[in-house]
Amino acid sequence: MPEVRPDLSVRIGPISMKNPLMVASGTHNLDYGELYPLDILGAYVPKTIRMHTWPGNPPPRTAEVPSGVVTSVGIPSKGWDAFVREDAPRLRALGIPVILSVVGKTEDEYAGMAERAGSLGFLAGVELNLSCPNIKAGGLAFGSDAKTAASLMDKVRKATSLPVIPKLPPDYGRVVEVAKACEDAGADAIAMINAPPAMVIDVDTRQPVLGNRTGGLSGPAIRPMAVYMIYRVYKAVRIPIIGMGGACDARDVIEFMLAGARAVALGTVNFFDPMAVPRALEGLREFTTTNGIDDINSLVGAAH
């Protein structure tokens, strides 16, 4: 019998991907292309950018914990113009959908970058990092309540015709209502979860380890939290979910899909297993073949 290649292709709104694998912003760079061809990915998400230059947080920026890392990098950025000059041509050359992750301190900054992103002509979508403090709202994250998230989403929606994908903070109490508010305000998909707030204290110095004192926990430690929140949001929205939060291999990717994710980003695993993407892709082919799954979309939400 000739081997049938299972169909791994998925759609995130209008974005067609040949497989559900992505990378989470800030956990990958184009140097990984020395290890494997980056166009095996379904879509690429470069490190979140800001409109203006920003040095990021003081070191130490990482603290290792069992099965995870607490980081507080602070999204350093060389600013929009340098991004367009230095990174955009290399991202365009990847030949796969590129979703640009942006962060701002005001709604206007987000909207301005979304508008400019559209004018570059090659981007497949814009991801909004909603975990950043909103200066106008006294430093509360843009994604911390439904009204603030919807207001931002609405402003960005009017600024670009590109697909817009808000990336939600992992707030157990509010994640469902924030996701729904984003959907109602025109979001094409939801990305979740961002790293939950966390802290590590050195018992010898009696001080937090990180230069910024607090950070975000990422890595396999947060996977069950991500799966649970995706499971809940899947029941509440009709738009597709891009799942992330500790996924390391093909079985994790499938777990996220069963919970309700249509695409899955590998994040922190790229730090300790730089070949995680090709391994997960091979694993997905194996799993779908072995289990007679013709279309990977049939797994989405199947745990419900």
Partner 1 sequence: MVEVQCEVMNNREVAGGVWNMALRSPDLAGTARPGQFCMLRVNRRLDPVLRRPFTFHRILPDREYIEILYKVVGRGTDLMTGLEPGAFVDVLGPLGNGYAIPEDARTIVTVSRGIGIAGLVALAEEARRRGVNVLALASFSNKDAVTGTELLDYFGCETALHTDDGVHGGTALVTDGLGARLAGRQVDQFYTCGSRRLAMAVYQWSAGHGIPAQVSLEQHMACGMGACMGCVVEAFTSGKRDAKAYRRVCKEGPVFWAWEVCGVA
State the catalytic residues: 132
In this complex, which beta carbon is closest to partner 1, that of residue 49 or of residue 237? Answer: 49
CB 13 within 8 A of CB 188: yes
CA distance 164 to 53: 23
The minimum distance between CB 256 and partner 1, in angstroms, equals 17
The minimum distance between CB 190 and partner 1, in angstroms, equals 24
With b for 16 or more beta-carbon neighbours within 10 A and e for fewer, the 235-269 pattern comes to eebebbbbbbbbbbbbebbbbbbbbbbbbbbbbbb
What sections of 13-159 are H helices per DSSP? Answer: 80-82, 88-92, 107-119, 146-159
Q: Which residues of the chain form contacts with partner 1 (CB under 8 A)?
A: 26-29, 31-32, 34-35, 47, 55-56, 59-62, 64, 66-69, 71, 73, 76, 219-220, 268, 270-275
In which residue are the tokens 């309700």 written?
260
Burial class from Cβ neighbours inside 10 Å (0-12, 13-18, 19+) for residue 170 reads buried
In this complex, which beta carbon is closest to partner 1, that of residue 8 or of residue 94? Answer: 94
The minimum distance between CB 207 and partner 1, in angstroms, equals 16
The minimum distance between CB 76 and partner 1, in angstroms, equals 6
In this complex, which beta carbon is closest to partner 1, that of residue 19 or of residue 72? Answer: 72
Q: Of the candidates 279, 249, 254, which has an alpha carbon nearest to the alpha carbon of residue 266?
A: 249
In this complex, which beta carbon is closest to partner 1, that of residue 21 or of residue 149? Answer: 21
The minimum distance between CB 93 and partner 1, in angstroms, equals 19
CB 45 within 8 A of CB 103: no
In this complex, which beta carbon is closest to partner 1, that of residue 59 or of residue 133? Answer: 59
